[in-house]
Chains A and B, each alone.
Chain A
Amino acid sequence: MDWTSWVISTVSRALAFGVPLLWGTLGEIYAERAGVVNLGVEGMMILGAFMAFAVTQSVGSPGLGLFCAAMVGGVAALVHAFLTVTLRANQYVAGLALSMFGLGLAGLLGRGWEGKPLSSTLPYLTVPGLSRIPVLGPMLFQDQTVLTYIGLVLAVLLWILLFRTRWGVAIRSVGENPATADALGINVTLVRYLCVVFGGLLAGVGGGYLSVAYRPAWTEGMTAGMGWIVIALTIFAAWDPLQAIWGAFFFGALYHLSYRLQAFLAPELLKLMPYFFAVVVLAASGFGRARWRRRAPAALGVPYVRGER
């Protein structure tokens, strides 16, 4: 077996499949950093996937399609924010409701759009110059869409924003101790709304990537559980945008390898590999010295009520 070709294809596929996971995870990290769990990622992604396809098919512009996907993800997240921040509903149940509703609604709206080829898709890029580098070229600079690179840059920028700016301090303090943040003059409600909606925007783009780039067609339920992997990745990445990169691409690689390795291992066992690893990785990261580093934001999942200390 030719090892370089194995490495090249695995890394390249890991990037391509990891993109929606990366976008979704970055968004969820921000929501959770501000103290709001959104289990509705699956619903937001599927709505994004449908919207991106419908708009791209009608207008012919994948860019506009992705923009609308982000919008619909943002609107869905806004509902979640309203329920959980303003109405202080249980965040887990609100997220589950969003996932159910999103899957149902996207399926309902998407009925006329199934089985149609997409006229204009988000192009796969071959980066001039860089793609000619041996090994690295085909690995990183071919067969990727622009969203791969934007996602990577975004991860870095979001890390800087979160850990190196005053805004980041505000977001983190809202997630850690909203009462203190409030006392310091930070608008807890506003920060939470913004972070949750931002998470929805990114999840929408992640979903849109699936229907206009990854596999340019609309099919019902095409997110196939990716939203749930995103939730696991958020914890796996310890709520850190940079670690989300490794996490997303690790799962992308696993998913690809579960088909590549079929020649050597039982297919059914390979299919459960990503889910099995999600549990194992979480268990390993909850174990031993790493535990203190991987602590969730202290106020995660707790609605904030002013005047209650």
Chain B
Amino acid sequence: MKRVLVAVLAVAVLGSLALAATKIKAGFIYVGPIGDYGWTHAHDVARRIVDEKYDWLETVYVESVPEGEVETYIDLLVRQGCNVIFTTSFGFMDGTLAAAQRYPDVIFAHCSGFKRWDNMATYMADFYQVYYLNGLMAGALTKTGKIGYVAAFPIPELKRHISAFTIGVREVNPKAEVHVRWIYEWYNPAAAKEATEALIAEGCDVFAFTEDSPTVVQVAAEKRLPSFGHYSPMYDFAPDYVVSGQIVHWDKIYEDFLLKIYKGVYTTKNLAHVDYWWLLAQGAVEVGAKPGMLINPKYEAALKNYVINHPTFGKISVYDLVYIRLNQMADPGITFDPFQGPVYDRKGNLRVPEGMWMSYDALITMEWAAAGIVGPWPGEP
């Protein structure tokens, strides 16, 4: 009897071991708190989505990891048995690379960086196309011709977003300006509030932003001014005033990446050229006030009534233009890009020649400001 029991136990143990070998334990290292309602929140929402979807997947996370400490946390997660590790801040790049070289049997993926290794891929979901579409709407909605933009840090990602937004604005409203204020923090509601108030005092009447809180939406709504949400769906914060916005779906990237590891497509040997740069076409980003609501119904009429004489499409309402542009960028055979030449910067230099698109490298290192942007621009070439 005893022997039988031992045998049964042994089988059970072996069985679970065999199962464990095909299991993936993924660790996520975040730079901010998961409650920030911005970047980190969005990554964590995605983590939970994929975690619930696949029973071969187990996930753990660490939040608010200082950039210099990433190696310490990778050590801790590896010791806990993680075999896939995602690091989600540009500042984690060198630490992740060093860890990838130290742990050749673990798969790493680093978000928003440019260094890769045999077992380290990179990934990014970028919003510039979405900002352009929001810009089209903003250009149609402004009455003062001044649009406010509250921005966290003057880095290429934000410069790319603001420029794409401004190109959209100018396409439907060539005289409009985009006024920019920097708050030098991803996450400081008081700073975001005063920056918005400063822009309101300057006469701005439509708002967009890149920082990790819904402050701009709330402050604009207090003054009955429309705005565009950022990163997470912000419709609920001001249902009457959030026109549209940018929504991210990191789960699309995580799911694809983890599935390919599970199926053996990605291994610890072949990631040196794996770089996800996912946009509208891959579904990693979405335009909308909340998922499924591209334009807040309250603003549909205003956008339908704003008719322009477009150089390509002739007489067209901005409402229709948004859908045309969205389809051009979302269909697999992408036929349009916001930075489609000719594009001039605000100093009058030709940045993208006629008929050209910007390369990936040019996009992610972009420093110049598109024509129509008003305000300080640290590091402007």
- Which of A's residues lie within 8 Å of B, judged by CB? 5-6, 9-10, 13, 16-17, 110-111, 114-115, 117, 124, 210, 214-217, 219-220, 222, 224, 226, 255-256, 258-260, 262-263, 266-268, 271
Contacts and interface: CB of A to CB of B under 8 A. Distances in A.
Interface residues of B, number: 38
B375 interface: yes
Contacts, number: 97
Interface in B156-189: 179, 181-184, 187-189
A271 B197 CA distance: 16
Interface stretch (B54-62, B98-106, B211-219, B256-264): B211-219
B90 interface: no
B214 A217 contact: yes
Interface stretch (B20-28, B29-37, B286-294): B29-37
A234 B141 CA distance: 46
7 closest Cβ contacts across the A-B interface?
A114-B35, A115-B37, A9-B201, A259-B198, A260-B198, A117-B237, A259-B195
Contact of A263 (B35, B236, B375): B375
A221 B298 CA distance: 35
B36 A267 contact: no
B375 A262 contact: yes
A117 B375 contact: no
Contacts of A222: 189-190
Contact of A214 (B184, B190, B376): B190
Contacts of B197: 9, 13, 16, 256, 259
B194 A255 contact: yes
Given A111-B35, A114-B36, A259 B194 contact: yes
B213 A224 contact: no
Given A5-B201, A214-B193, A117 B184 contact: no
A267 B184 contact: yes
B230 to A, nearest CB: 13
A16 B193 CA distance: 11
B274 interface: no
B184 A217 contact: no
Contacts of B213: 217, 219
Contact of A224 (B35, B188, B215, B378): B188
Given A219-B189, A259-B191, 12 more contacts: A9-B198, A9-B201, A13-B197, A111-B35, A115-B41, A210-B190, A214-B193, A215-B192, A256-B194, A259-B181, A263-B376, A267-B184
Contacts of A258: 194
A255 B190 CA distance: 10
A27 B197 CA distance: 28
A47 B21 CA distance: 47
Nearest to A216: B218
Contacts of B37: 114-115, 219
- Residue of B189, B193, B202, B215 ringed by the most chain A CB atoms within 10 A: B189
A13 B195 CA distance: 11
B198 A256 contact: yes
Given A5-B201, A9-B197, A114-B37, A215 B190 contact: yes
A219 B187 contact: yes
A260 B179 CA distance: 11
Contacts of B65: none
Contact of A260 (B182, B201, B214, B219): B201
Nearest to A223: B190
Contacts of B201: 5-6, 9-10, 13, 260
Contacts of B238: 117
Interface string B211-252: 001110011001000000000100011100000000000000
Contacts of A256: 194, 197-198
A215 B36 contact: no
Contact of B214 (A115, A220, A224, A267): A115
B281 interface: no
Interface string B130-163: 0000000000000000000000000000000000
Interface in B55-100: none
B374 interface: yes
A260 B191 CA distance: 12
6 contacts: A9-B197, A9-B201, A110-B35, A259-B197, A263-B179, A267-B182
A111 B64 CA distance: 13
A263 B374 contact: yes
User: Which of B41, B191, B192 has the largest count of A CB atoms less than 10 A from its CB?
Assistant: B191
Given A111-B35, A262-B375, A13 B41 contact: no
B187 A124 contact: no
Tell which of A110, A219, A255, A263 has the most Cβ of chain B within 10 Å. Answer: A219
A262 B189 CA distance: 18
Nearest to A225: B190
Given A115-B214, A117-B218, A267-B376, A224 B190 contact: yes
Contacts of A17: 190, 194
A148 to B, nearest CB: 15
A233 to B, nearest CB: 16
A255 B237 CA distance: 25
A124 B214 CA distance: 19
Contacts of A124: 222
Nearest to A264: B376
Nearest to B33: A220
Contacts of A5: 201
B193 to A, nearest CB: 5
A230 to B, nearest CB: 14
B189 A268 contact: no
Contacts of A255: 190, 194
Contact of A262 (B181, B214, B215, B237): B181
Contacts of B198: 9, 13, 256, 259-260, 262
Nearest to B199: A259
